[in-house]
Structure 1
Amino acid sequence: MTQKPDWTAPAGEPWVSRSEQVVYENPWITVREHQATAPTGRPALYGVVSFKNLALAVLPLHEDGTVTLVGQHRFPLRDYVWEIPEGGGPMGEDPLAGAQRELREETGLVAAEWRQVLRFQLSNSITDERGLGFVATGLTEGEAAPDETEVLQVARVPFREALGLAVRGEITDALTVAMLLRAYHMAQEGELSAALSNAMLRPAGHP
C-alpha cells in the first residue's frame, strides 16, 4: 500500500533572507526590508513589519450565555468596530497577566477562571505578529480604566447574537471572529460546562 504524504509537514525550500535593513521603527513596530530568495530560487524584495508586543484577545463569557464586546474607532481603516477586549503585552511579560490587564482596563471585568484556547498569526504575509486567545469566566464587574487615547463603548450581548454577526461579516475583527468560532466549537464539543454551553447555544431572543 502506498503511504499517503503527511499534509501537515513542510514541503519545498524555505524563504532565505540574504540581507536586511531597518527602514522604520517606533515604540510598537519595526519595518525591515529584506533582499530575499524565494522558495522558487528567484530573488525577491520583501518588507516585514515586526511587532514588539504579543497580541492578546480575551472572550469574556458570562454564566447566562452572554459575552462582553467593546466598540471603538480604529485608525488604520477609519472605521468603527465591535470586538472582544484586545491589546498587546510586552514580549517578556506573562501573557496571562497582560490579558487580565486588558480585560480589566477595557471593561472593568475581573475573571476567576482563565483558559488559553487559541494561538494565532495575523497577516503573516507581511507581519510576524503572533498572539494568544483566552476565554475568561467567573466574571465580576469593576471599574474600567481605558487608555488615554481610547473612547470605548461596552455592550453585553447573547453569544449566539455575537456569533451571528461574526459569520454574517458584520463583526469583522479577525480575532473576535476566531474566538467566537473557537468558543462555539468548545460549547459543541463539551469543553465548557454543560450549563454554560446550553446558555451560549440558546438561540438569541429565547429565554
Structure 2
Amino acid sequence: MNEQHNPWTIVNEKEVYNNPWINVTEFDVLNPAGGKGIYGKVHFKNNAIGIIVLDDELNTYLVGQYRFPLNKYSWEIPEGGGPLGIDALESAKRELKEETGLVAQEWTKLLDLHLSNSVTDEFGTIFMARGLQQEEAMPEETEQLVVKKVPFDEAYQMVENGTITDSIAVAAILKVRILLLEGKLT
C-alpha cells in the first residue's frame, strides 16, 4: 500500500463560511472504503505561532487570557498568528513583543506541528526565545492579557496538573523539559 496515496475522493465541495481568519468547506466524499459521506474542513488563514521564553535563571513567561471559543480562562505561552507567506520567526518576534514586551536575542525553532488535524489544516511553529530585554507590551484590542513570570518547573507542573491545556503550550513546555533532562539546555 502506498502510504502517500490519498484514499478519499472528493465528489463536490462548497464553502459554508468565510472570515478574515478561517474558511469552512463542506465536502461530499467517497471515503476510503467507497462509502458516501461528508467531511468538513476548517482552513486557517494564519499559521499558529508559539514562543516559550527561558531567561538565565530558567524562568518562563505565561500569558493568561479568557478564550472565547472555550468559554474559560487559559494559561499559555505567548502565542498568536502569523500570516501565511510571512517568515514564522518574524511573526514570533512580533507576537512576543506584543504580548509580553520582551525582545529576545537568541531564537531556536523547537517544533512544527499540526493542530487538530482531523478537522483543520492549522499548522504551527514553536520557538524558544532567550537573551531577553524588557520593553513595553502592545497587546491587540481583542486581548486582555495577564503576563506572569514563573520558574520553568512551575510551568511544567501546570501542564502535569492540567492547569495548562493549550496544545501549543503543552508541546513547548514538554519539549523544553526533555531538552533540560537531556542536558541540552542550561
Same fold (TM over 0.5): yes
Amino acid at match of 2:137: A
> Who is 2:119 aligned against?
126
SS of structure 2 residue aligned to 1:151: coil
**Cα deviation digits, residues 78-124 of structure 1 (max 9, x gap):** 11111000000110111100000000000000000001110111111
1:3-14 correspondence to structure 2 within 5 Å: 10=3, 14=7
2:164 matches 1:168: no
**Cα deviation digits, residues 113-160 of structure 1 (max 9, x gap):** 001110111111111101100000111111000001111101000111
Residue 36 of structure 2, aligned match among 26, 29, 43: 43
1:12-51 correspondence to structure 2 within 5 Å: 14-51=7-44
Q: Number of residues paired by the alignment?
A: 185
SS of structure 1 residue aligned to 2:47: strand
Amino acid at match of 2:131: G
Aligned mates of 2:75, 2:6 — CA distance in 1: 40
> Who is 2:181 aligned against?
188
* % identity of equivalent residues: 49
Amino acid at match of 1:31: V
Aligned mates of 1:77, 1:55 — CA distance in 2: 17
Range with bigger deviation, 66-75 or 16-25: 16-25
8 Å contact from structure 1 (residues 167, 177) kept in 2: no
Aligned mates of 2:126, 2:30 — CA distance in 1: 33
Gaps of at least 5 residues in structure 1 are 1-8, 197-207
Aligned mates of 1:77, 1:117 — CA distance in 2: 26
* Structure 1 outlier segments of 4+, above 4 Å: none
Q: What TM-score results when the alignment is normalised by the length of structure 2?
A: 0.95
Which of 1 and 2 has greater Rg?
A: 1
2:105 matches 1:112: yes
Q: What TM-score results when the alignment is normalised by the length of structure 1?
A: 0.86
8 Å contact from structure 1 (residues 21, 33) kept in 2: yes
1:56-205 correspondence to structure 2 within 5 Å: 56-192=49-185, 196=186
Shift in CA distance, 95/32, structure 1 to aligned 2, threshold 3 Å: same
- Aligned CA RMSD, in angstroms, stands at 1.4
SS of structure 2 residue aligned to 1:99: helix
Gaps of at least 5 residues in structure 2 are none
**Cα deviation digits, residues 24-61 of structure 1 (max 9, x gap):** 10000000000112122212100100000000000011
